[in-house]
Amino acid sequence: MVFSSAEFLFLFLPCTLLLYYNPFFRGRRFRNVLLLLVSIFFYAWGEEVYVLLLLVSIAANWWLGLRVGPDRKHRRAFLTAAVILNLAGLFVFKYLGFVCENLGALGLPLPEVRLALPIGISFYTFQAMSYVIDVYRGKSPAQRSVLDVGLYVSFFPQLIAGPIVRYETIAAEIHGRQETWEDFCAGVPRFVQGLGKKVILANSMAIIADAAFDELAALSVPMAWLGAVAYALQIYFDFSGYSDMAIGLGRMFGFHFLENFNQPYLAASITDFWRRWHISLSTWFRDYVYIPLGGNRVSSRRHLLNLLAVWLLTGVWHGADWAFILWGLGYFLLLMAEKYGRIDRKLGFLRRPWTLFWVLMLWVLFRAEDLGRAGAYYAALFTGGRGDMADFIYYFSNMRVYLLAAVVCCLPLGRLWKKIPELWRERLESLGTVALLAVLVTYVVGSTYNPFIYFNF
């Protein structure tokens, strides 16, 4: 079930809200158990079998969390067991087939392994590890009830595509949150805005991107560039839209998730880009991998190795494919050029175009189905294929309104919004939310094309 489906908007969410805010049972225990049950149902809707894997992960990490607290014996051994257990599950379902395939290509007699990837396994695995590590570090107390750990790991707004919610961020809110009308009223427009990003902008950009990446031999240079730009816009509005919806839904139930995007295409450097893009992932790797390895408080050689480890893991986290590994290495090299070559400082006013260019180039590698197709697409960007301008003219002329809207929505419109008097802002937001929701209903009911990119991770 996806947030932009009719089942979610007209059945699941209204029923959940009615049950949660019923006038008869309003205790914290009831509401937490209800959220846990509906979250498990939400996941089981698309993963009838792998929901058991989620439940095993919850139970195992709850048990290990009780044994890594500051006053427990052998707590370091239990922490190690937790990390190994979580990564082992992720490896088996996400990377085992890739490893066997590549070792088989080297001549080792290994069987072919093809396991269906559980939806959201990378997200909920990292959250479960965050729980155990934060308890071990003494940042938050262990939850005595497995139901509370289950709610943290499986809470449906962020379960299958993030953002990665750190345990220390919401530990106090599991039992101590206060649902308010102000939070609910802030959550609804945030959810609707995210839905608009996804349904109107991301899905429209996907039409152009799919046409370009699926017809490599017939690409002209303009169509290749249009496809690359469209994919960059698609993945941004797809993922940031989902994050907005998750944040909005969290507010409706009294939870406050941290922001996951901050206008990344306005970044003035690659370093700046990763402070703005998928913030929950980059900060997770910073706090749980980069800093424990020594961060930048080490020799230059060791610092390089630390960054290399982080960016290899970032690439691998996104998928079991050489393209993702090279994508991560590409960012590592660019960050090294900035850190040690000061290249971003030498570019002056060209810093933003330089950054955006390399982000686009690496999105091509991210989107291509394999390295061969990525190479063919890079060739089309700079030399063109056998195609003419017909496809470019067709897609640009038919989608120019959506393209313009997507580009405008990448700009810092919030600054202009804040200049409007508060009373007018509230009225405009209310009217805009109702109008946008009415438009979105027609899109949701009438559209059959509704993928979420990050469901694959």
The catalytic residues are 318
Peptide bond into 111 cis (omega under 30): no
Q: How far apart are CA 444 and CA 457, in angstroms?
A: 24
Query: In the structure encoding, which two tokens stand for residue 373, read together?
Result: 């197709």
What contacts 287, CB < 8 A, 6 or more positions away? none
Q: How far apart are CA 260 and CA 238, in angstroms?
A: 13
CA torsion angle 350 227 214 318 (round to 10): 50
User: How would you label 130-151 residue by residue, b for 16+ Cβ within 10 Å and e otherwise?
Assistant: bbbbbbbeeebebbeebbbbbb
Q: Do 191 and 158 touch, CB atoms closer than 8 A?
A: no
Q: Do 352 and 268 touch, CB atoms closer than 8 A?
A: yes
∠ at Cα 294 (319, 311), nearest 5°?
Answer: 20
Among the listed residues 400, 367, 361, the one whose alpha carbon sits nearest the alpha carbon of residue 209:
367
